Amino acid sequence: MILEVTLSGLVIILLCLYLLVWRWEQKRFAHIPKAIPRLPFFGNMRELDLNQCHVIMTEWAQRFGPVYRIKAFDEEILVLNSFDSVHDALVVKGSAFAGRPPMYRTATHQRDKHSIVWQTYSDKLTFLRKEVLKSLKMYGDGMDNLEHKCAPQIKVMVDTITKHNGQQFDPWDVIYDAISNVMLGLTLDTTFDHSTQKFKMIKDINYLFNDTFGAGSARELDFLPWLSRLGLHKYSKKLQRALTMRDTFWNEELKLLKARDDTDCIVQRLLKLTTDNQSQVHDVTELTAKEVFTNLILAGTDTTATALTCLLLILIHEPDIQEKMWSEIHQHVGVNRLVTLADRVHMPYIQAVLLELLRYTSHVPLAVPHYTMCDTSVLDIPVPKNMTVYINLWALHHDPEHWPEPWTFKPERFLTNDGQLLPVTDPVRRRLMTFGAGRRVCLGEALAKNRLFLFATALVQSFEFQRAPDETNTKPQQLPKMDPRTYEMGLVLHPQHYQLIALARY
């Protein structure tokens, strides 16, 4: 009897506490409009297919306005869907929105304390960003350096494609391998033969991280960490495997790098930092170097390799665009040397194609989740401290008010009437935010744009890409659609695998 009374009392107290917390939570978020009604416990998870959430959230923006909140299990999330709201948050109130939310996936192995991507806004983050940016500038701004690092990989890529001799193949591996080796060159000053175990290992690590750190269904690990701790979620084991493989790779490479004194690469610079006084203040250790290396390899490979495979898919669907790119290369460079970054000014059409590629496909549709560092506001709507914020770049880049016919691939949007590239200050260019903006803007933006240009021009200069024939060899094979609404979600959005043929231009 006493036990029953005590238990009932406990249940009532817990219920009252729950209601108090619930009311307090409701008050905190009261000013932010809700999207659709929520279910107890699940919130909006029933409607929110995590693999298509950027598309669903964009539809909700049309119904509920550009700023609203959703609930993922017990977490309230602010979603910003328009240029004005994103600009206000990331640029005007930059530091207030520069945090990263605590997440189960990033807390394991202290990734949230040592990496750049997953660390919240802090003095250490600012310090690390500055240092890594300095190292990246060797390549991003130092154009000769980047061309020098890319040229051998471009040659391997072109030679490998040439060996297909007009027969159909899937372009993914050859592009991915080349981009991956450029990243290994920049970070570790090493490259691997594509057939080696080591190279397969770094590819597997990247694939596993892509699967487990994306905004897709692996995000459930953060919303329901107890499922993961009990090993009950389908992604828990994958996550562990990714981290273990990464550690093995890192330990082996670190030993080799430490034995060398003839190299200047990003990891070497990070290791040097661990011994300087200022770094000790920020607790920069070998663990920091490992995490930053992982960030760069992952962010620097999948994004660019995916962009290039999307580009080829688009060029097969749109042969006129491919021809215009080719004629610009033919006219200004010809075929006897690679296109360089200095040639870029003479190639407004190609630059416009690449900008349109970044808008149309919006490879990182929800950026990386942000977190409010203090009580703040967006477009005058009060937003409390410690709230997760999704930046819906997908919605921004397909807003018909600013991008007429948003699902049509139109490089001309970025050109003046006489075919010149719009200046960076033009409102159209300013509305393109593929790399985010403000304090957490992509660290590799300059590098990514330069490398994309070098690889895209090399591909179009060397080959004419066409649809592969079907099994009967009589008509063209069915291709996946180029429409990015059909792409699959991982860390980045990517199209289904497809086959093409590449006919040598010379």
Which residues on adjacent β-strands are paired with residue 494?
488
363 close to 493: Cβ distance less than 8 angstroms: yes
Please name which of 45, 65, 62, 98 lies closest in space to residue 385, comparing C-alpha atoms. 98
Among 398, 440, 467, 494, binds ligand HEM (CB under 6 A): 440
Residues 107-136 that bind ligand HEM (CB under 6 A): 116-117, 129, 136
Which residues on adjacent β-strands are paired with residue 489?
493
Binding of ligand HEM by 314 (CB under 6 A):
no
Considering beta carbons, is residue 409 or 435 the nearer one to ligand HEM?
A: 435
The interface mask with ligand HEM, positions 290-309, x = CB under 6 A, is: -----xx--xx--xx--x--
Nearest approach, Cβ of residue 266 and ligand HEM (Å): 9
Please name which of 96, 113, 22, 123 lies closest in space to residue 387, comparing C-alpha atoms. 96
The Cα–Cα gap between 178 and 22 comes to: 52
Considering beta carbons, is residue 129 or 324 the nearer one to ligand HEM?
A: 129
Among 93, 124, 344, 363, binds ligand HEM (CB under 6 A): 363
Residues 389-408 that bind ligand HEM (CB under 6 A): 391
Q: Identify which range of 192-200, 371-379, 434-442, 482-490 contacts ligand HEM by CB under 6 A.
A: 434-442
Among 150, 202, 316, 368, binds ligand HEM (CB under 6 A): 368
361 close to 493: Cβ distance less than 8 angstroms: yes
**How many residues make contact with ligand HEM (CB under 6 A)?**
25
Buried b (16+ CB within 10 A) or exposed e, 216-249: bbbbbbbbbbebbeeeebebbebbbebbebbeeb
Nearest approach, Cβ of residue 435 and ligand HEM (Å): 5
Binding of ligand HEM by 372 (CB under 6 A):
no
Which residues on adjacent β-strands are paired with residue 504?
463
Binding of ligand HEM by 310 (CB under 6 A):
no
DSSP assignment letter at 325? H
For residue 11, give the amino acid letter.
V
Is 442 labeled as ligand-binding? Answer: yes
* Edge-first strand listing for the sheet containing 370-371: 67-72, 75-80, 388-391, 370-371
Nearest approach, Cβ of residue 355 and ligand HEM (Å): 11
Binding of ligand HEM by 367 (CB under 6 A):
yes
Considering beta carbons, is residue 174 or 299 the nearer one to ligand HEM?
A: 299
Binding of ligand HEM by 411 (CB under 6 A):
no
Which residues on adjacent β-strands are paired with residue 501?
466
Residues 448-467 that bind ligand HEM (CB under 6 A): 448
Please name which of 99, 112, 32 lies closest in space to residue 370, comparing C-alpha atoms. 99
Considering beta carbons, is residue 43 or 411 the nearer one to ligand HEM?
A: 411
The Cα–Cα gap between 370 and 99 comes to: 5
| Cα→Cα distances 219→49, 72, 490, Å | 11, 10, 10
Binding of ligand HEM by 97 (CB under 6 A):
no
Binding of ligand HEM by 216 (CB under 6 A):
no
Residues that bind ligand HEM (CB under 6 A): 116-117, 129, 136, 295-296, 299-300, 303-304, 307, 363-364, 367-368, 391, 434-436, 440, 442-444, 447-448
Q: Which residues are annotated as a binding site for heme?
A: 442
